[in-house]
Amino acid sequence: MKKTFLIFSALIFSNTLIAQQDILLASARKDSTGVFIGDMHATEQVESPGVARKFAITNLKKDLDALDKSGKNTLLSDAGNNNERNLNSEIYATYLSRLDKKYKGDVRSIETDNIRDIFQIEQKSEIKRRHSSVVSAQCFSSKNEGQFIKMKDLDGEEIIGYPLESFKGNSRYGLVENYRQGFARIKKDQVFGFLNYCGDETIPCQYEKAEPFNDGKALVKKFDWYFVDVYGIESEALENITDVKALRLGISIAKFKNGKQALIDNTYDVSKKPLSDYYDEVTVFNNELFRVRSGKNFGLIKIDGSTKIDAIYDNINSTTEKGKWIIIEQNKKVGLMDTDGNIKVKPSYESIANMTIDPSVSPNANLGIAKDEAGIRLIDFKDLRTSKTYSSIGDFNKYGLAQIKDGKYIGYINPELKVVIEPIYSSLGNFNQYGLVAACRAGVNGANNGTNKCGYIKFDGSEIVPINFDEVAQFNKFGLVVVKENLKNCSLPAGNCRADMIYDKNGNLVIGKTNEVAPIGIKYITTDTLFNSSFIAIKTFNPQKNGDDMPVEYNLVERNSLKRITSQSYISIKRYDSNLMFPVLKDGKWGLIDTTGKIVAKPAYKDIMITTEGLYGVKYDNNKYGFIDKKGKVQIAFDYEEVRPFNNGLSIVSRGQGKLGVINRFNAKIAPCYFAEVNILPATKQFELLDASGNKFVLNSNGDCVTNCTKFDEIRKLANQ
């Protein structure tokens, strides 16, 4: 049997509360014109009356089959043989008349049945709800024109009905609600009424208040409260009732003239008796139960009005939506009870509260926090296991861990109440992107003189960076962290008596203190700067013996392996070139290292030029330039005041003013250092040479003379003598 229920949130009866609830609903479903319409979005576009009739018959036949599981009901047996065109208004009216008659008989039969079993109540509800839809759908018999839409009603069932959104912007309407059980509640000209599936005002607007249809009847108010049925027939006035709120299964919460509240059903106009006892307050507790208050005490009743838990508790609350326990309060202490009223945890705690855990972290977790004089503990609502008592418990993080504090020491626990990181740490930071957390711990049994030592641990509790250091920094985005160790008997200037080291995210030592190129007192700062997208720059500060400020230098760490490649720090490192060489500056001199950190050319040069065709122009101590190759070997001696990059194997060089020439890679003088000016012609890459007398000579890109060659040969012959 299909059971679709509309469950309202907790209700407290007073004019103020009902107004507040209307505001909450309206805020969720009002359109831009302020008309409350619910969710009326069409699942399919405009349909004709014929399609509406066919759809209604199909759905009603399914409902009938579901209610009569014997399969013997033949009321609509031939309905499927009629297509949209053949299903005219007369045939349709015949079908609906059959259904109306059947459901009327069923309703009369069940009204005499006083069984209050919840399953029986649901069966009755199903028949009444279906009858309500049948009565509303009868309107299609008289419709041969008009347009309708397919949509879902407030119970989530698919229907075809009048497009209620057409009321948008009409100032006469203060409320146009979606259909429920065949009827749409409306407020027009400040009074309430109901529309059928065709949009007809089948129950005229005349009531100062109205609740939605609830199993064939709706609660309405003029001066008194009444029931109105699907035919618009009103009951006798409901005695002693001042306010009501419809729920489901034909049951409502009513407030009486004496200020008490109780559950009533749709027969109250005849029986004059509520389903439940009278209480000072009745509110929805969950899908099956209601919380009731008598004086200052709380209990629970079922939807059929029977008592589930006597009203003897100071308070009653639910655990979680999927929890099977109830939080009870008695004598200012709280405990847990099951839904049958059995005490599972005696009221001995100061408080028990739900704990929210991201389902993506622990989808099956159902935990709470229990607090007493000793502290707080986790309680697993699945089996009521509890953790050890702690002085504090934090929220669960993305690794499924909550920080716990035992006295003055900190650790972590998981949702299974297993301590993953023992509370032995004096401080724990927040987990970083690598699942690591900075951890500090006091010396044990006098070790480290009782002072804190720090490192990093992983979310599984394993130690990654040893808990041996006086200070640890934050990891950079590539997975490197600086750690610091204070040193005794340090001969270096004050403030520098410490050793910095660098670890990677896997716990490997990248730069240690024992290396001869990392003496005591060096300070490191990791950066997020990359050289050539592959090497991480590490700022390095070497202490000065005279106490002066430490100049910044740099080391390099390979990005993928996180291995240090520089064997010493450099004042400057230029990005590597086509030869995969880094020009580096140390103690005011330039040299070359390769991408493994190997020193190719010791820092011995005052200047170094960008490599061209495998050679580097460098300036030596004699302030003259020459060329070295990518292995650091001198290929052209340091004889020149100035050199220019090689181009097609040739370079313009100078030995002073008026002494310019052209050499090749072997230092052969293609043009002697004799000329006042030498230029490369951009278009042809030829060399244009001018002597002191203004004579012009042109060499091609290979160095062969092409203009004024006789004179050029004389100059070259003289230079060769």
Specify the 3-state DSSP secondary structure of 283. strand
Q: What is the structure's pLDDT at 545?
A: 65
Distance (Å, whole) CA 287 – CA 35: 29
Q: What is the structure's pLDDT at 258?
A: 94
Residue ranges in the chain modelled with pLDDT below 70:
1-46, 63-87, 111-119, 320-323, 443-450, 488-497, 514-521, 545-549
Residues in Cβ contact with 509 at an 8 Å cutoff, skipping those fewer than 6 apart = 501, 502, 503
Single-letter amino acid, residue 530: L
> Under the phi-then-psi rule, with left for phi > 0, alpha for psi from -120 to 50, and beta for the rest, what region is 383?
alpha
Q: Which candidate, 702, 709, 695, places its Cα nearest to that of 664?
A: 702
Distance (Å, whole) CA 216 – CA 103: 11
Q: What is the structure's pLDDT at 246?
A: 94
Specify the 3-state DSSP secondary structure of 606. coil
Q: What is the structure's pLDDT at 324?
A: 77
Q: Give the architecture-level CATH label for domain 641-721.
A: Beta Barrel (2.40)
CA 155 to chain CA centroid, Å, is: 30
Question: Is-contact 148 159, C-beta < 8 A?
Answer: no
Q: What is the structure's pLDDT at 356?
A: 84
- Residue spans per domain, the chain: 15-313, 641-721
Going from the C-alpha of 30 to that of each of 8, 10, 51, 168, 591, the distances in angstroms are 18, 21, 30, 10, 75
Q: What is the structure's pLDDT at 42?
A: 63
**β-bridge pairing 427-428 and 419-425:** unpaired
Q: What is the structure's pLDDT at 704?
A: 94
pTM value is: 0.67
Going from the C-alpha of 346 to that of each of 328, 340, 518, the distances in angstroms are 9, 15, 64
Distance (Å, whole) CA 42 – CA 169: 18
Q: What is the structure's pLDDT at 25?
A: 34
Burial 21-38 (b: 16+ CB within 10 A, else e): beeebeeeeeeeeebbbb
Distance (Å, whole) CA 14 – CA 544: 81
Q: Name the phi and psi angles at 55, rounded to 5.
A: -65, -45
Q: Which candidate, 169, 171, 228, 174, places its Cα nearest to that of 204?
A: 228
Going from the C-alpha of 158 to that of each of 128, 132, 137, 150, 431, the distances in angstroms are 18, 15, 13, 7, 49
CA 325 to chain CA centroid, Å, is: 30
Both tokens of residue 544? Answer: 């000065």
Q: What is the structure's pLDDT at 444?
A: 47
> Which alpha helices (DSSP H) does 453-598 contain, by range?
none
Tens-digit pLDDT profile for residues 336-371? 988 888 898 999 999 998 888 888 888 888 899 999
Strand partners, 438: 456
Helix-, strand-, coil-residue percentages of the chain, each rounded to 5: 15, 40, 45
CA-angle at 465, arms to 499 and 387, nearest 5°: 135
Q: What is the structure's pLDDT at 503?
A: 97
Q: What is the structure's pLDDT at 23?
A: 32
